[in-house]
Amino acid sequence: MRKVTFKEYFSILFGGLWQGILWVLGLFGYKDENPFGKVVKRIFASCVTVLMLLFTGCVLFAFAKQVVYNEFIRPHTNNRVWEEKYISNHIVFQEMYYSDKNRVFDKNEQKVLLEDVDWVVVSDDKDSLAVYARNGKRGYINRFTGKVAIPEIYTRAWIFSEGLAAVEKDGELLFIDHSGKVVIDKDFQVYFHDPKYAFKNGYCMIKNPVDGKMGLIDRAGNWVLNAEYDYLFNNEGFWQVEKDGYVGLYTSKMDLMFPVENSAIFVDDSIIEVRYTNHTAKRYDYNGNVVVDFVIDEVYNMQYETTELRNDMEPSDSEFVDNKIYGIANCQQYMVRGGTYNNSDYYGLLNRDGKTVTPPIYTSIKAIGKDLYLCQPDGVIVNDKGKIVH
């Protein structure tokens, strides 16, 4: 079989192309004998040839750049690191330039320990094992040596906390120890929306996979709070829960401290402040003893408009300030904050001795006389003894 030379190949190629052009142009009535037709055919053939050469060049350039260079040349000539995240003193997670896959690297030994790693996350409590992802699976590495401690066999995995880690395998939520042994297998399932699993003071929050309601399990996997709460979190060692808009508090030993019947609870600086649904508030110490029996957030003096007018004003001042005379009411207005962004503030009356005249049951109070006050939302008028007079 005779070999075809390079010149013969292109002669046949362009000959075939020329015959194709003649056939197409023949459909429009051009004849070889017509000089004008011959010129048009040659111009057309030249343009098509140039376009084909350009197209072929673009294809070859794209192939060389995306396949040949990226796959065969760049990995051997470009080994730069884009960003490093320390896993321990000398073990780092490196994100590489021009690569979707990254690596775990030993800076002391200048040695790659684990290739093609997507990400690595270290526990908040600096556990010895860090979770990593590779090839769509999750596993754990020893962050001090960089060696794989538990291979990537899990669909999803979370950081170790208090010696245990949550993993998902075959659709089940399990908890394992540092050896990879399953220590909690209670038919739990992962809640699809923003799942987070970590032990805190001996307990871990679990969500109902159907409705997302929250509960707590202990280290044996037993329920200590059933998954029935809308919100649940650890607050300075206490467990705060919310259900149907009401808030309660459990101690670190899961003893009920305040039932789920309050509008808000704040824990800070050795003080627990409870906002009740009757708009009052009290402060307690961490043992549940009352520290402040009646919390008031702010106190205001109130002015009322008298029937007298000022006569010492310049004419120009009256454009900006009225000439009415105001008096100071007998009672002060105090405010108790609602506690949360969707709860309104409420107001009550104090006498000059600091004693409460009315509870904080009004949305606003306005002095309309020395001893009379218009209180909303009902629009009642109260005197300085707290009695409704109209």
**Who contacts 279 (Cβ-Cβ below 8 Å, separation ≥6)?**
263, 336, 338, 346, 359, 360, 361
First CA to last CA across the chain, in angstroms?
118
> How far apart, in whole angstroms, are the C-alpha atoms of residue 218 and residue 225?
9
Task: Work out the angle at residue 287's Cα, subtended by the Cα atoms of residues 285 and 288, and round it to the nearest 5 degrees.
Answer: 70
For position 219, what pLDDT does the model report?
Answer: 96
Query: Between 234 and 49, whose confidence is greater?
Result: 234
| Range from 27-41, 70-84, 166-180 carrying the lowest mean pLDDT | 27-41
Task: Identify whether 389 is part of a domain.
Answer: no
Counting residues of the chain whose pLDDT is more than 70, the rounded percentage is 79
Do 376 and 257 lie in one domain? The reply is no
For position 346, what pLDDT does the model report?
Answer: 95
Number of helices and strands (H, E) in the chain?
A: 3, 32
Task: Identify whether 1 is part of a domain.
Answer: no
Do 259 and 217 lie in one domain? The reply is no
β-bridge mates for residue 165, sequence order: 176
pLDDT tens digit sequence for 355-386 = 999 999 999 999 999 999 999 999 999 999 99
Average pLDDT over residues 323-348: 86
> How far apart, in whole angstroms, are the C-alpha atoms of residue 201 and residue 370?
56
| pLDDT reading at 22 higher than 80 | no
Task: Work out the angle at residue 194's Cα, subtended by the Cα atoms of residues 233 and 214, and round it to the nearest 5 degrees.
Answer: 40
Q: Which two tokens stand for residue 173?
A: 């939520």
> How far apart, in whole angstroms, are the C-alpha atoms of residue 252 and residue 381?
47
212 φ, ψ to 5°?
80, 10
Q: Which of 255, 275, 295 is the last residue of a domain?
A: 295
Do 142 and 73 lie in one domain? The reply is no
Do 210 and 111 lie in one domain? The reply is yes
Q: Which of 23, 44, 77 is the last residue of a domain?
A: 77
How many structural domains compose the chain? 4
- Confidence category of residue 59, pLDDT binned at 50, 70, 90: confident
> How far apart, in whole angstroms, are the C-alpha atoms of residue 72 and residue 79?
13
Do 59 and 89 lie in one domain? The reply is no
> How far apart, in whole angstroms, are the C-alpha atoms of residue 77 and residue 199?
46
Q: Which of 272, 295, 318 is the last residue of a domain?
A: 295
Structural domain of residue 277, as residue ranges? 230-295
Counting residues of the chain whose pLDDT is more than 90, the rounded percentage is 66
> Which helix (H) or strand (E) segment is 325 a member of?
strand 324-328
